[in-house]
Structure 1
């Protein structure tokens, strides 16, 4: 069997993403926080990049910067777009495509000599910082260096959030306790979780204390220690905030009810705290009435009192990090005119370091030339990201004019395909642009994806946005009679009367998304 060899031609198509295009797509889907981190990383890795802030008006370098003017869009007469590179920008700002004015060669050399001088410090310990001082005061709780001779100012102390444990220790100072009792109370306070609960049983805490001292690990000592912790728990649970030191939710509610004035509602609430929490959550009045022997009106008053209590006493002392949303787009409404602009705070301003670029002209080729090209690509991709984000934001505002004028009920149906076809972009590009990007409007700050919603049919042959339908459902429930709340079927019927075809199951889904309880639970409130 012989082998045959020959030559042939075959035509194939293959899509290859260049590194520049890959970087452009990655930047497009980053949030404002992730973009800032990406910029910081590039500034640290690429010596040809530097910030262009506070540099004034400067002439561009040899970077081939594309025109920063925004393309005209349909309907631009009523929607004004601004970007950090527009003419309206203040003169002291610099766009991402602007470059620095040339530095004098001797100035650049002087800067290098000054930097080099930092390595020839006569005092070798000066660069080590306080980490190398054995007798230094060290860091305080907020991560700042404290000097023993300089106490913290009143402003610094006022700005520090108070811990729940510190709040309780301050109250413990007013109690007349022995040293052993004070130590037990201190131990319980430090054993609380962030919500103010004592998660571990007293027996386990007593065993943990005995394990520290093997000499006192006899049964009598264990009983004495457990009795001491029980007394300390009583002192702890009498402190403010009410409910602190509880072992479970029922005990937490009971402790808070005991702080209330004696009334039929308070007595009913105490009786309810002894019942299964599932019955209370479902507001099962039939079972609760049979278990407590109380009439329905008193049970309703007791339930109303329980709903006003704090299930997490330590909530206001929690130091959980708050997420702050920085909008990428700012929208201002002046009558029927919309002013859309990018938020300058989220748009980085970078430039090519001209001193390094001019020095590189004398030595073409090599890795440095590639790093310079990467810096140019990064600046261009940043500008392209801003332009694309601005175009998409303008198109969204044009489609959702009724929302900015009338609120949620004026929201129109909109899908990613509509914006993609209008701007001549791919649908996946619109998805990247609208993910984790926020728009600040006079009605609040919303993610760009908020303005997209499915369509529901109407009697007139048109469509209604699902967002507008949810707003109508919320409005109907807010205006209902609490004694006869609307069921999902009744809400669907009212929507049908307004010409919106919405099934009962769809109403239930929207109601649950709005975190609104069922009609049964709303009737019992």
Structure 2
């Protein structure tokens, strides 16, 4: 095989997509919600872009700067000005006020026929179905614990402290705040016995915390992972004592699978440690995770299919909520000015 260097010409047909075309294709494939998020992200990243909310059609020169005239103290209200017909303008503002008057006074300006009783009932049934199909707020962890707390015969101070602890739990059921932070400030009448009063309040907080930790789900109200797992142990477990030792001293060793080291320090056999470890896996490190609220996002359709009066189905896109983007006039002027630096 002979190798040589040289120049040659050949004809080929290729389809090359420009970066702008690729970006356009990516944007066209986005659904409505993703497109709205993309527009919001571009608005945050690019200060040159401005947007016009889709409230109506834009006129020519809508983006030009206009002088703002402040109304005087004796100026009439918007609804009190006369409807003046001017040949120089199309009186859009006056017709807009007339339209608002027809909406605010439907009895005088309504030209359509009044709905029948059947139509009113059908509309009421439709709204009732909408209310019935709304997603109900799921029961939170705090609601669930507070309902159980009503079963206990507690004095008012202990119940109030238990409520304070319940509503300071995080989404996983842990009490991250120290009990000292949940105590009320010492009243003025305590005077020089503030320390004794605070000691008494700490005992009350410990008592209330013990009540909360007896509630379901097991492990709630714990201040650490070890305490959470220990609260879930019951004396009836087969490896109750072994689990206590493993949780108290060897969680990190279990995480790193150092079973021979655990066996050497505790005297347990490898088989016993493995069986106890299986029971340990059934405990929940996050007892409140089952009550985490999950909201279903609203579904925004990209396409609507409607049936017209002639019985023909028509398909149209839903893009009325998307804003129109344009380049800010301020940056346009900066580009046109000769003294603008390249960095700007």
Partner residue in 2 for 1:315? 289
Mapped to 1, the partners of 2:39 and 2:241 lie a distance apart of 61
Following superposition, the deviation at residue 203 of structure 1 comes to: 2.9
Give CA deviations for 1:286-331 in whole Å, capped at 9, x if unaligned. Answer: 22223333222221111111112111111111114467999x9xxx
Mapped to 2, the partners of 1:155 and 1:324 lie a distance apart of 13
Mapped to 2, the partners of 1:155 and 1:321 lie a distance apart of 15
Give the direction of change, closer, same or farther, for the CA distance of 1:350–1:229 in structure 2 (3 Å limit): closer
Give the alignment's Cα RMSD to 1 decimal.
4.4
Question: Are residues 1:302 and 2:276 paired?
Answer: yes
Mapped to 1, the partners of 2:271 and 2:200 lie a distance apart of 46
Instruction: Tell me, yes or no, if the aligned pair for 2:263 and 2:270 is still in contact at 8 Å.
Output: yes
Question: Are residues 1:292 and 2:302 paired?
Answer: no
Give the direction of change, closer, same or farther, for the CA distance of 1:155–1:236 in structure 2 (3 Å limit): farther
Mapped to 2, the partners of 1:229 and 1:351 lie a distance apart of 57
Partner residue in 2 for 1:27? 27
Count of aligned pairs between the two proteins: 226
Mapped to 2, the partners of 1:219 and 1:314 lie a distance apart of 35
Partner residue in 2 for 1:235? 211
Instruction: Summarize the alignment of residues 79-478 of structure 1 with structure 2, pairs less than 5 Å apart.
Output: 116-119=98-101, 159-206=136-183, 209-210=184-185, 213=187, 215-216=189-190, 218-258=194-234, 261-263=236-238, 265-321=239-295, 349=317
Instruction: Tell me, yes or no, if the aligned pair for 2:303 and 2:318 is still in contact at 8 Å.
Output: no
Following superposition, the deviation at residue 115 of structure 1 comes to: 8.6
Greater relative contact order (Cα < 8 A, sep 6+): 2
Following superposition, the deviation at residue 278 of structure 1 comes to: 1.4
TM (normalized to structure 1)?
0.37
Instruction: Tell me, yes or no, if the aligned pair for 1:268 and 1:301 is still in contact at 8 Å.
Output: no
Unaligned runs of 5+ in 1: 1-16, 49-111, 124-152, 329-342, 353-370, 372-525
Instruction: Tell me, yes or no, if the aligned pair for 2:303 and 2:317 is still in contact at 8 Å.
Output: no
TM (normalized to structure 2)?
0.54
Instruction: Tell me, yes or no, if the aligned pair for 1:266 and 1:305 is still in contact at 8 Å.
Output: no
Give CA deviations for 1:268-297 in whole Å, capped at 9, x if unaligned. Answer: 222211114211212211222233332222
Mapped to 2, the partners of 1:325 and 1:299 lie a distance apart of 50
Structure index of larger Rg: 2
Mapped to 2, the partners of 1:223 and 1:164 lie a distance apart of 30
Give CA deviations for 1:148-200 in whole Å, capped at 9, x if unaligned. Answer: xxxxx9987x8220011110110110100111111111111111111100112
SS of residue paired to 2:249: coil
Give CA deviations for 1:254-274 in whole Å, capped at 9, x if unaligned. Answer: 11122x7331x2332222111
Partner residue in 1 for 2:54? 44
Instruction: Tell me, yes or no, if the aligned pair for 2:164 and 2:182 is still in contact at 8 Å.
Output: no
Give the direction of change, closer, same or farther, for the CA distance of 1:178–1:165 in structure 2 (3 Å limit): same
Unaligned runs of 5+ in 2: 1-17, 41-50, 59-93, 106-130, 305-314, 325-344
Give the direction of change, closer, same or farther, for the CA distance of 1:322–1:351 in structure 2 (3 Å limit): closer
Give the direction of change, closer, same or farther, for the CA distance of 1:154–1:30 in structure 2 (3 Å limit): closer
